[in-house]
Amino acid sequence: MPGGPKGEDFGKSTLVKAKKRELYHDKQVQGTNDYSIVSKRSVEKFYTSKLNPECHEWFKHVVAEDRRRSPSINRGYWIRMESIRRFVDNIIESRDFSDQKISIINLGCGYDTLPFQLLGFYKKQGNGINLEFIDIDYPDLLKKKLQLVKSSEEMMSLIGDDNMVLNQDNNFDIYLFSSNNYKLVACDLKNEKLYEQMLNNLGAATIKIFISEVSLAYMKPEHADSIISCSSKIPNSHFLILEQILPCGRFHFFAQKMLYHFAHLGSPLNCVETYPSKEHQIDRFKQFYSNAEVRDLFEIWNELVDLQTKKKVKEVEDFDEWEEFIVFCQHYTLLHANNRGKSFYNINTPEMPEIESIDRAIKIKTIASNDNHLKKKFSSACFVDNELLLFGGAFQTRVNDLVSISVNEQRNTRLIHVEGSIPRARMAHTLTEIDDKSCILIGGRSSPSVYLKDSYIFRNNEWLRLPDMKEGRRRHSCVKVNSSQFLIFGGLKDDHGAGASAFIMYDSFKNDFIDMDIQGSIPNLSSCGMYYDGISNIGYICGGMSNDIDPQVSDALYTFEVLDGNVIKIEITYKHAQFRRIGPNISLLSDGRLLIVGGVSPLKLLNQFNTVVTYNIKSKVFEEVEVTSEVWKDSPPLFIGFSMAKTPHSVICVGGGAVCYSFGSAYSSTYEISYTDKQHWQKSMYFK
């Protein structure tokens, strides 16, 4: 019977299992601290030491291993840490009077050393700012942190001796350490009553800054919101929460990697699907605070990080992962809430206008996936002899192999055995069809700072070396103008020589590269979309970026003509936020519309409906091309560092990939984009 011994045993067993699951989850959440602090130590050693030496190095006291992370991870953690630090500084600067006490409460602090950075910094400033830090986390984790802190004379000299007095009535038993400016509070944040009791010990006159850096994210929403609610009741309080969002849902390639990563670790993100967007986060906090403002981390990069700091960041290490950095930043937000109407973000931010109609005549389907030969980013492809050739790119390292993809139903892939002057491994180059039997390879890069100037022809399974360009180029574009001429644009270094032309022409008759004179104006763009229509003698350029320090992404559609005498005539025909993409590929339909595929927008994460769009050149109207739910869920397009080439009635998108922050790499499937009316494909189509 339910009330008998067996029922009681079953109930006890269920409770025991639930308790074990909870303990396991708590342990896994604590484990996320281990990876995070190694990454933060990497940032501290290579970034903070150069950008903010006055903040000193503190993670070295609490991190056992000293490991340099990749540039993508370093810059991602740097913007996380910098965003929080700048906001805390802004709140401190906005205090009501100079000696007003400020309590900074770090919820789920882990081994973070923000208290020591700020205490050390403001002590050196000598301006008498009255700071108190309260680090809160699981008891077991904080006991280990306390041991590490006590073993460092440098840390102890900053926070002073423990002056804690045990007092059960005042609940001081949860304080593992208490000095005048630093306290360690052992509190499981799911214990709302204990948390409230701790808050009651805070002085009423102080400014309180609550910080949650990806800590409440692991809690169930109702528990996390209880913490926010309790904190909001404290007078003169600010809440800073850095948390993941899902701006394009759980099936976006980055979101899939992120969610799997945390779930696989046994510490799933429990709040992100309840509050998946900036708007949801605002609504969440306005339940408790009268004022809330939020930005994603790339908006913070643009708004709060000044140009001088960006220049210093650029000098720390070679970096050519802007697309990966932007997509990561668009999945993380920093929200600031308070009850006093204080705001620190700019009121107006650039927006991407919504597109009102869908082009239902264009279809996108997956034609190949999970082929290791095609798992490459920033390779380049073109058709030769009815085979799609894919050269170079990067998987775990840069490669120089040549892969053939058949155009039959099977889409078989094979490595081609090649001879001759085989090009070195590279990425961000161009491969362009010459004729049915040959293609031309131009430029690219090895490491981010090494731009290649060499070029080759591939014919009959043999590579032949061509003359070098005057300047190396990477992330450039190349289109076929006619059977003997190939136009190359952009991809020069920012500090390229004064004599270097943004446009050059390779002439196979002269076997040389020729500088082009430019009528009009266009910046030296990298990773733009470029197309040339040999029938009308009109070319198109859209998107792309200039300035490696602080990318300026073009929102212009340029048209150009190739004139006699090595002259390019170019002009802007339209500006729109939809053109503002890094790394799109473009094509022209015979009805005068541009097909714009992929890339990364600095304004907004591209989604299931606007990753691919069409643009009517005459009416200046955009239409979305929907990626079906089946494709979006099973193999979401990853149109970063990909190539596009044509069949008679469609285009093939091949290659592409990205490092998804610390969650691992993702690679794109191969897709076919086709039009229901086959006549709409322009007969003269050439792709970079």
Q: What is the pLDDT of residues 607-617, one digit of tens each?
A: 999 999 999 99
Token digits of residue 223: 């528990």
d(CA 688, CA 585): 8
Please check whether residue 388 is in contact with residue 377, taking contact to mean a CB–CB distance below 8 angstroms. no
DSSP 485: E
45: DSSP letter: I
Average pLDDT over residues 33-45: 93
Q: How far is CA 436 from the centre of its chain?
A: 39
pLDDT higher than threshold 90 for residue 46: yes
Q: Which residue has the tokens 């069409």?
A: 614
Q: What share of the chain is helix, strand, coil (3-state, %, to 5)?
A: 30, 30, 40
Confidence band for 284, pLDDT divided at 50, 70 and 90: very high
Weakest mean pLDDT among 170-174, 339-343, 590-594, 657-661: 170-174
Q: Kindly indicate the confidence band of residue 411, based on its pLDDT and cuts at 50, 70 and 90.
A: confident
**pLDDT tens by residue, 163-208:** 876 544 455 578 999 999 999 999 999 999 999 989 988 876 689 9
Domains 5-338 and 362-680 share a fold: no
Tell me the three state secondary structure of residue 306: coil
Contact 208, 103 (CB under 8 A): yes
- 3-class DSSP state of 311: helix
Give the pLDDT band of residue 685 (cuts 50, 70, 90): very low
User: Would you state the structure tokens that stand for residue 246, as one six-digit string?
Assistant: 């899902």
Over range 354-371, report the average pLDDT.
87
Handedness of CA 171, 173, 175, 179 (dihedral sign): positive
Would you give the end-to-end CA distance of the chain in angstroms?
Answer: 75
Q: What's the pLDDT at 33?
A: 85
CB 366 within 8 A of CB 636: no
CATH assignment, 362-680? 2.120.10.80
Distance, in Å, from the CA atom of 106 to the CA atom of 144, rounded to the nearest integer, reads 17
CA neighbor of 270 nearest in space, from 329, 223, 232, 229: 223
Residue 32 has pLDDT above 80, yes or no: no
Q: What is the pLDDT of residue 18?
A: 60
Q: Residue 152: its pLDDT value, please?
A: 96
Q: Residue 104 and residue 238: Cα distance in Å, rounded?
A: 9
> Residue 64's Cα: distance from chain center in Å?
28
Which one-letter amino acid corresponds to residue 168? Q
Nearest Cα to 430, choosing from 535, 309, 526?
Answer: 526
- pLDDT at residue 687, as a whole number: 34
- Long-range contact pairs involving 144-149 (C-beta distance under 8 Å, separation at least 24): 145/62, 145/109, 145/110, 145/111, 145/184, 146/176, 146/177, 146/184, 148/61, 148/62, 148/111, 149/61, 149/62, 149/177
Q: Pick the more confident residue, 86 or 32.
A: 86
pLDDT in tens, 102-132: 999 999 999 999 999 999 999 888 777 899 9
Would you state the CATH architecture of domain 5-338? 3-Layer(aba) Sandwich (3.40)
Average pLDDT over residues 327-355: 90
pLDDT at 266 over 80: yes
Maximum C-alpha span of the chain? 98
Q: Looking at 61-75, 480-494, 674-688, which range is the least confident one?
A: 674-688
Q: What is the pLDDT of residues 422-441, one digit of tens each?
A: 999 999 999 999 999 999 99
Q: What are phi and psi of 262, to 5 degrees?
A: -70, -35
Give the model's pLDDT for residue 238.
97
d(CA 113, CA 33) in angstroms, rounded, equals: 12
Q: How many helices (H) and strands (E) does the chain have?
A: 14, 37
How deeply is 99 buried, as exposed, middle or buried, from its count of CB atoms within 10 A (0-12, 13-18, 19+)? exposed
DSSP 3-state assignment of 557?
Answer: strand
pLDDT at 487 over 90: yes
Query: For residue 421, what are its two tokens?
Result: 């002057």
Of 125-139, 270-284, 595-609, 614-628, least confident by mean pLDDT is: 125-139
- DSSP-derived pairing of the beta strands 650-654 and 643-647: antiparallel
φ, ψ dihedrals at 638, nearest 5° = -120, 75
- DSSP strand pairing (380-384 vs 387-391): antiparallel
pLDDT of residue 406: 84
20 pLDDT more than 70: no
Residue boundaries of the structural domains of the chain: 5-338, 362-680
Cα atoms in the Cβ-side hemisphere of radius 13 Å centred on 482: 9
Select, from the ranges 8-22, 151-165, 198-212, 532-546, the one with the highest average predicted confidence (pLDDT).
532-546
Q: Average the pLDDT over 397-408 and give the result.
A: 90
CA–CA dist 578, 311 (Å, integer): 28
Q: What whole-number distance in Å separates Cα of residue 599 and Cα of residue 588?
A: 17
Written as one letter, the residue type at 362 is I
Between CA 241 and CA 219 the distance in angstroms is 14
Q: Sorting pLDDT into bands at 50, 70 and 90, what band is 224?
A: very high
pLDDT tens digit string along 448-471? 999 999 999 999 999 999 999 999
> Which residues partner with 614 through β-bridges?
595, 623
Give 16's pLDDT tier (boundaries 50, 70, 90).
low
- Closest by CA to 72, choosing from 672, 659, 663, is 659
Mean pLDDT of 572-593: 94
- 3 state DSSP class of 508: coil
Cα–Cα distance, 300 to 240 (Å, whole number): 14
User: Is the pLDDT reported for residue 409 higher than 80?
Assistant: no
- Asked whether residue 65 carries a pLDDT value surpassing 60, the answer given is yes
